[in-house]
A and B are shown apart, each in its own frame.
Chain A
Amino acid sequence: MLVIRADLVDAMVAHARADHPDEACGVITGPDGSDRPERFVPMINAARSPTFYEFDSGDLLRLYRDMDSRDEVPVVVYHSHTATEAYPSRTDVSYASEPNAHYVLVSTRESGRGDGPYELRSFRIVDGVVTEEEIDVTPA
């Protein structure tokens, strides 16, 4: 189960809407071993694409160095789908490389950049196997 504060959910949705129709991406870091997402870190989608996302290589190095110095890990790795459901694509599964992370997908296919309905789901992706999990949203 992913336990996450409501303001962090709102931040992911806002980022996904703002970047629509391109995919938005980022992480929410937390203390190593805590499984508790705390620090929202939106990233630039270097692919600037509606069907693909990739952290810029230099940004990636800075992110991981920063997390190391804070003794943090990427508790949540999120990205959006802008025309399809909030479920990991084959590409998502093949590149998933954080077995301890919660992979959160936001779909803006209905809302676009507006305030309409969105989907937000969380998954574990380990050794190519996708397992959906419940999300417990706690007060901000």
Chain B
Amino acid sequence: MAVEVRVPTILRDYTSGERVVLASGASVATVIDDLDVNYPGIAERLLDDSGLRRFVNVYLNDEDVRVLDGLDTVVADNDSITILPAVAGG
């Protein structure tokens, strides 16, 4: 499945400045794996040992994948994925 992935400013160092890149995979997890093949290091910024990092939001189309099936969320052709770091602090 080929999907568009929108990359936030802070991760564009990995994508040579590109805002939107293409990746493939049948789930959010496999899309992230595929991203990491082409943009090594990017997965580390998104995932930790427990899964998606607490302050990284990943959206499939209009939905936060946390309210779907998380990293197991199924991805279809022409879906779009948006990565946004949380805006948060203390």
Binding site for B on A (CB under 8 A): 25, 27, 43, 47, 51-55, 57-58, 60-61, 64, 73, 77, 79, 88-92, 95-100
Contacts and interface: CB of A to CB of B under 8 A. Distances in A.
B51 interface: no
Contacts, number: 66
A100 B57 CA distance: 20
Contacts of A60: 57, 84, 86-87
29 contacts: A25-B87, A43-B87, A52-B89, A54-B87, A54-B88, A55-B87, A55-B88, A57-B64, A57-B86, A58-B64, A60-B57, A61-B59, A61-B82, A64-B84, A73-B9, A79-B89, A88-B89, A91-B88, A92-B89, A95-B87, A95-B88, A96-B89, A97-B9, A97-B10, A97-B55, A97-B86, A98-B9, A98-B10, A98-B87
A95 B85 CA distance: 8
Interface string B65-89: 0100000000000000010111111
A49 to B, nearest CB: 9
A51 B90 contact: yes
Given A97-B8, A98-B10, A55 B86 contact: yes
A57 B10 contact: no
Given A57-B66, A60-B57, A61-B62, A91 B90 contact: yes
B88 A53 contact: yes
Contacts of B57: 57, 60-61
Interface of B: 8-10, 55, 57, 59, 62, 64, 66, 82, 84-90
Contacts of A96: 89
Report, nearest first, the 3 A-B pairs whose CB atoms are least far apart.
A91-B90, A97-B85, A92-B89
A51 B89 CA distance: 9
Contacts of A57: 57, 64, 66, 86
A14 to B, nearest CB: 20
Contacts of B85: 95, 97
Nearest to B11: A97
B28 to A, nearest CB: 15
A54 B90 CA distance: 9
